[in-house]
Amino acid sequence: MKQKPTILNRRQFLKAVSIGTVGFMSGAVGGFFDRSVSAAVQNPRARADFMPDLDIALTAIPDEVPIFPGLATRVWRYKSELIKGEPNSLIDIPESYLGPIIRANKGARVRIRLTNEVPANTIVHWHGLHVPADMDGHPRYVIPQGQTYLYEFEVKNRAGTYWYHPHPHGQTGYQVYGGLAGLFLVADAEEKAAGLPSGEFDIPLVLQDRSFDGDNQLVYLPGGRMELMTGFIGDRILVNGIPDYTLAVATRSYRLRLLNGSNSRIYRLAWQNGQPLTVIGTDGGLLEKPVERQYAFLGPGERLELWVDFSSYPVGYETMLVSLPFDAGVAGGPMGGGMMGGGRYLRRLPNGSEFPIIQIKVQRRVTENQPLPQRLSFVSRINPKTAINYYSPRQFYLFMGHMRWTINGRTFQMTDVADDEIVRLGTTEVWEFYNTGGGMGMMGMANMPHPIHLHGKQFQVLERGGVAHSGYVDEGWKDTVLLMPGERVRILVGFEDYPGLYLYHCHNLEHEDMGMMRNYFVKG
Ligand SMILES: [Cu+2]
């Protein structure tokens, strides 16, 4: 089961990462991997008879944007153009450099023309969407600068908060960090019937952490190799690409759609004033009914939808959405990933520290309001007994081997699939992930949280075991599930509709880029 560490990939990765320490977004970073694999696979499935309801040109460009007073910040971002569709299908978040919000109805046929104008190979992954394998943004489909990749797919997902970001192997962390990410919101009749706050009362909130130098430029992985083991942790919290984010609200209810778009930071969300969180949705859309939590973890890649009512507060009232402290595990020795030890670099806002995320100000009084719906949607439970391997789940051990994070001791190879990574189209399975951590890191035992993401599928969490943690929202549909050190999670996943090669991986983007990612093959 164990594989030898792949020296070539490791070198390629370290090379890719070193770019970040010498001037972010300023140089050419393309061409790290085998072009014979990635060469110009434009789109084998584009069909002449595809009649899109929504047609969008999405272009990745280098740009400079004002984030702080003074010098503009060099970023990479998505600019977009609506070629066909309702005007509100494509919305730029005001004052944000993040990608536009793409809005589509369930059942819509979507065409997206991705053009690459950044000096690196790239490809876009539609995180959470159930699409054919060659529409999913697998790294083998990367396109070089100057080329276009045509996506055509039908939106089969239920209403929910999905998102998109680059997925070139070894450079995902760098490119997402640079600004390439956006929301993909799906609507349907069931969501509409639920009667949730909409329009200006439905607020997208993309949470990311960043570090900037004295010239307002992004700094990536200042901790070098040590920081690869833990993942990038920034010292500024940005919401929708904006620092010190303030949300001015009216005295009424809101729907807040939270995405953790950070490379590796985990948030333990709570209201500063002690009121519980009212959670109405997760990765795969609305829950059946609202649930309350004193706090909730949000790992990289995960989404959480909150309902909150400010009607009982006076104008002028202020509160905050905060991240509460938690034990973020240890990688690279007992000193917490170089946070203090080794003298290599100082992390001012370590993972698991306490900080404000969003400042809320009640700014105006309104009289109309919408109550919290007691019924949100229908979530069809997968019967565990329908899983073909219910009594012998497919097992995945997450641990460090040879100073790299692995899944079952393996790391990513572009088209590699092991015998135990092949599933049959039309079946349902139980997959069991063990965060065994363990192994020796660079300076000792390595134990870290790992948010595990499956491409192309929504799944249901069957049960958790191992160490006991609270604060998860495992209800409803998920595409990313967080495992704290020592934890075990069983999920139920169905392999419907589409055969082909898909990814599963840790969504700590530095872990992913290191190769904590594998293919699984859906055999038709
Ligand atoms: Cu990980």
Q: How many A from CA of 511 to the centre of ligand 1?
A: 5
Q: Give the whole-angstrom CA distance, residue 344 versus residue 357.
A: 27
Measure the CA dihedral 349/351/355/358, to 10°.
110
Asked if 84 and 52 touch (Cβ cutoff 8 Å), the reply is yes
Q: Which residue is it, tokens 């060659």?
A: 134
Q: How many A from CA of 262 to the centre of ligand 1?
A: 13
Q: How many A from CA of 448 to the centre of ligand 1?
A: 7
For 41-89, what is each residue's pLDDT tens digit? 455 556 668 999 999 999 999 999 999 999 999 999 999 999 999 999 9
Q: How many A from CA of 327 to the centre of ligand 1?
A: 15
For 383-411, what is each residue's pLDDT tens digit? 999 999 999 999 999 998 888 899 999 99
Helix H or strand E encompassing 307: strand 303-309
Q: How many A from CA of 518 to the centre of ligand 1?
A: 12
Q: How many A from CA of 152 to the centre of ligand 1?
A: 31
For 167-218, what is each residue's pLDDT tens digit? 999 999 999 999 999 999 999 999 999 999 999 999 999 999 999 999 999 9
Beta bridge partners of 355: 323
For 216-252, what is each residue's pLDDT tens digit? 999 999 888 778 888 999 999 999 999 999 999 999 9
Q: Give the whole-angstrom CA distance, residue 523 versus residue 499.
A: 6
3-state secondary structure of 398: strand
Q: How many A from CA of 390 to the centre of ligand 1?
A: 26
Q: Which residue is it, tokens 């908060």?
A: 161
Q: How many A from CA of 406 to the centre of ligand 1?
A: 8
Q: How many A from CA of 193 to the centre of ligand 1?
A: 38
Q: How many A from CA of 301 to the centre of ligand 1?
A: 12
Is the pTM here over 0.85, yes or no?
yes
Q: How many A from CA of 451 to the centre of ligand 1?
A: 6
Q: What is the mean pLDDT of residues 495-512?
A: 98
Backbone angles phi, psi at 10, to 5 degrees: -65, -45
pLDDT at position 238: 98
Q: How many A from CA of 398 to the centre of ligand 1?
A: 8
Q: Give the whole-angstrom CA distance, residue 314 versus residue 312.
A: 7
Q: How many A from CA of 482 to the centre of ligand 1?
A: 9
Q: How many A from CA of 130 to the centre of ligand 1?
A: 23
Q: How many A from CA of 76 to the centre of ligand 1?
A: 25
